[in-house]
């Protein structure tokens, strides 16, 4: 998977996670809130992976 697709999927997971958390909070659904929090963390990790891939690619390109 490319760094760009990692970042896009990560952002999508973050947004979806935030929405799930908000809906869970509004409806009192703790399970949905927890699911949203996990999905948000997954998205943050995916974005970090994409940024790391960019860093590695830039380093390799310099060499």
Say if residue 63's pLDDT is above 90.
no
Give pLDDT, residue 38: 98
pLDDT in tens, 3-62: 899 999 999 999 999 999 999 999 999 999 999 999 999 999 999 999 999 999 888 888
Q: Provide the residue ranges of all domains of the chain, joining segments of one domain with +.
A: 3-62
Task: Report yes or no: 47 and 10 within 8 Å, Cβ to Cβ.
Answer: yes
| Coil vs helix vs strand at 25 | helix
Say if residue 1's pLDDT is above 80.
no
The DSSP output letter for 1 is -
């Amino acid at each position: 998977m490319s760094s760009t697709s990692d970042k896009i999927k990560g952002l999508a997971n973050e947004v979806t996670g935030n929405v799930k958390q908000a809906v869970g909070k509004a409806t009192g659904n703790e399970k949905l809130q927890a699911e949203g929090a996990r999905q948000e963390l997954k998205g943050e990790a995916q974005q970090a992976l994409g940024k790391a891939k960019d860093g590695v690619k830039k380093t390799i390109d310099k060499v």
